[in-house]
Amino acid sequence: MGWQAAPRTASLAQGNAAQAPVKGKKFVAIQIGARSFVDEGVEKCLDTLQEKGRVNVLMSTVFTYGRGLAGRQVPGRPLPDHGVQEYDEIHGGSYTRVHPEFYADSVIKDIRAPELGEFDILADVIPKAKARGMQTYCLFEEAYNPRLIPNFEKIAEVDVYGRTGRSTCLNNPYARTFLVSMVEDWFKSNDLDGLMWESERQGPLNNTLGMTFGGAGPRREIYCFCTYCREKGREQGINVERARQGYMALDRWVGRTLNDPRPSDGTFVTWWRLMLEYPEILAWEKFWFHSQEEVYGLIYGTAKGIKPSAQVGWHIMHYVTMSPFYRAEQDYSRLAHMADFLKPCPYNNCAGPRLARYIRNVQATLFRDLTPEQVLELHYKILGYEGEATLDQLPTAGLSANYVVAETKRAMAAVQNTIPIYPGIDIDIPTAMSEKQTRPSDVKPAVLAALKSGAPGVVLSRKYAEMKLTNLAGAGEALREFGS
Ligand SMILES: [Zn+2]
């Protein structure tokens, strides 16, 4: 089990003070992809980040096959007021050089993104950033393109019906070795200050019930039932076959709920009856997020083992502010034992349309006994957002800066101030043109809300290539006004 590093065991009470780049200054990070440095030039890009956003930490995308953290603007959305004024194609992969010696034990080796030539987002940027007193954290996410990754099937997750998925299995030893290989390569080949990982997915229960702000597809994501997970589940005393049957029954229940008339007992009661019949459903959901926590511990131990002073933390995906179920699983007080910081995502602008879709999706399954308006009100009460927009206004209004306050304070209380909370600030995260768009008058109050709630910093999200400079300047104004 050499690939499995132990999570940090230091007492929470000892604290784990993060290094602010300059004493007394706030931690002002921005997520940025290699494309922006290539398009705009490294020095000019850094000038812009410092002047407009008072940025002092680069969160540089080193690995992704997705568009959320790499490439230019999403095709079809308006191009921002900087960068090359054309849409681009994404291949994805590693945006830093791959040193083969670190991948000797990995079945995944061929991951270098080809679209930017030899440009290396770490080696070609870090010295220039350091010369300005800016730090660099490597940023990566679980966004894979199986078609472009040789041997991906060896690390892939497998669903309840035996079908291979598009992401990795958290318990697959080859998947874990691959993650360790990348982290070792980045930290041993570069002088990094930290790392942030985005594990943007949730367990099979939440997925089966359609707890998503995306469009509800015909195929529900019920992972993982691969041989590694089944064996590990059995070792932990879970009746894996009952869990499998339970998820297939739950899948059928969702199908009926979406298509058939409301049952005489009501939707919620029939769902709860299923949960009583198959308590293994909950056991398998817990198994899933505990496996995710193990991978957090593995990445944490790997990076800290190479560079103890590195700051290693986790982006907690947007659902943590929408779903009581996902919020319960992402227990910040537990995560604080295997993180130097957390970045929750109170993205208040795109939260408008996203939360509205989320509410309609869960109303169609679990909460079908209520109207969508009632479901929203229920969520506002459970999550602590009373007074925010009604369902018909939500997609265009977004959520207020109070939502940033609520999540920042909740996170700080959960970790008992032992690690810093850096809320993600939404600057032009893409929405449909008819939906809420970011304005400078949104960004400045959101940043101020985070700082006034006591956050020692923020992460400007989700990537520089999408942000209008006029909106980025809203962050700079807030920091100036706050005296940072
Ligand atoms: Zn698995």
pLDDT-wise least confident of 7-21, 135-149, 217-231, 421-435:
7-21
Q: Within a 10 A sphere around the Cβ of 380, how many other Cβ atoms?
A: 17
Instruction: Determine the Cα–Cα distance for residues 455 and 405; give it in Å rounded to an integer.
Output: 10
How confident is the model over 436-459, as a mean pLDDT? 97
pLDDT tens profile 230-260: 999 999 999 999 999 999 999 999 999 999 9
The angle formed by the CA atoms of residues 276, 281 and 284, to the nearest 5 degrees, is 145
Give the pLDDT of residue 220: 85
Whether the predicted pLDDT of 38 surpasses 90: yes
Picking from 355, 445, 349, the residue whose alpha carbon sits closest to that of residue 397 is 349
Element (H, E) at 394: helix 394-397
Query: What is the average pLDDT across 28-32?
Result: 98
Using 50, 70 and 90 to split pLDDT, how confident is the model at 484? Answer: confident
- What is the average pLDDT across 312-332? 98
CA of 222 to the centre of ligand 1 (A): 11
**What is the pLDDT at residue 216?**
63
Statement: residue 186 has pLDDT above 50: yes
SS3 10: coil
pLDDT at 185: 98
The alpha carbon of 223 and the centre of ligand 1 are apart by a number of angstroms equal to 7
CA atoms within 13 A on the CB side of 372: 12
Ligand 1 centre from 288 Cα, in Å? 9
pLDDT tens-digit map of 273-317: 999 999 999 999 999 999 999 999 999 999 999 999 999 999 999
Evaluate whether 379 touches 356 at the Cβ level (below 8 Å): no
> Is residue 145 over pLDDT 70?
yes
Average pLDDT over residues 131-141: 98
Q: Does pLDDT of 13 surpass 50?
A: no
Cβ neighbours of residue 299 under 8 Å, at least 6 residues apart?
179, 180, 183, 195, 197, 312
How many angstroms separate the alpha carbon of residue 245 from the centre of ligand 1?
17
| pLDDT above 70 for 23 | no
156: buried, middle or exposed (CB in 10 Å: 19+, 13-18, 0-12)? buried
CA distance 230 to 151: 21
What angle do the packed helices 267-277 and 240-259 form, to 10 degrees?
Answer: 170
pLDDT at res. 293? 98
The confidence score (pLDDT) of residue 308 equals 98
Cα of 278 from ligand 1 centre, angstroms = 20
Q: Can you give the pLDDT at residue 11?
A: 41
Indicate the pTM of the whole model: 0.95
Structure tokens given for 8: 């940090």
Give distance in angstroms: CA of 287 to centre of ligand 1.
11
Taking only the tens place, the pLDDT of each residue in 367-390 is 999 999 999 999 999 999 999 999
Please name the residues in contact with 427: beta carbons below 8 A apart, sequence gap of 6 or more.
Answer: 438, 443, 460, 461, 466, 467, 468, 471, 472, 474, 475
Q: Is the peptide bond before 368 cis (omega within 30 degrees of 0)?
A: no
Q: Is the pLDDT of residue 8 over 90?
A: no
**Residue 15 predicted with pLDDT over 60:** no
Q: Ligand 1 centre from 104 Cα, in Å?
A: 23
pLDDT tens across 386-423, in order? Answer: 999 999 999 999 999 999 999 999 999 999 989 999 99
Is 385 in contact with 299 (CB distance < 8 Å)?
Answer: no
Q: Is the CB of residue 310 less than 8 Å from the CB of residue 194?
A: yes
- Ligand 1 centre distance from Cα of residue 140 (Å): 21
Q: Distance between terminal CA atoms of the chain?
A: 46
